Structure 1
Amino acid sequence: MQEYYIGWGTLSLINAGIAQGKNRSGLNWFLLSLLLGPIATLAVVIAEKR
């Protein structure tokens, strides 16, 4: 079960990095990713760059 948490946290960090690259709030996307996981990844990838 611990691997699940590590993977989810890593995904959240990756999403925050992608969001910052698109001039969006990394912290907000990190927190959103903790809740939604892969759905947030899809949303941040599809989002337009500001």
Structure 2
Amino acid sequence: MIQEYGIGWGTLALINAGIAQGKNRSGFNWFLLSLLLGPIATFILVLVEKRSEI
């Protein structure tokens, strides 16, 4: 059961990295943050606005 939990958590971190890159943010940083915060990081990503390209 622990293994499935870890796989799901890691998958969520990868999804969050993709969402972050879509919002012009660092995918790697959000991946690491998502490993620590999990679903909370997803919620934060939903709330932040897309960063404008310079």
**RMSD after superposition:** 0.3
The runs of 4+ residues in structure 1 deviating greater than 3 Å are none
Note the residue ranges of structure 1 that are not aligned, 5 or more in a row: none
* Shift, 1:46, TM fit: 0.9
Greater Cα radius of gyration, structure 1 or 2: 2
The count of corresponding residues between Structure 1 and Structure 2 is: 50
TM-score by length of 2: 0.91
- Aligned identity (percent) is 82
TM-score by length of 1: 0.98
Residue in 2 aligned with 1:17?
Answer: 18
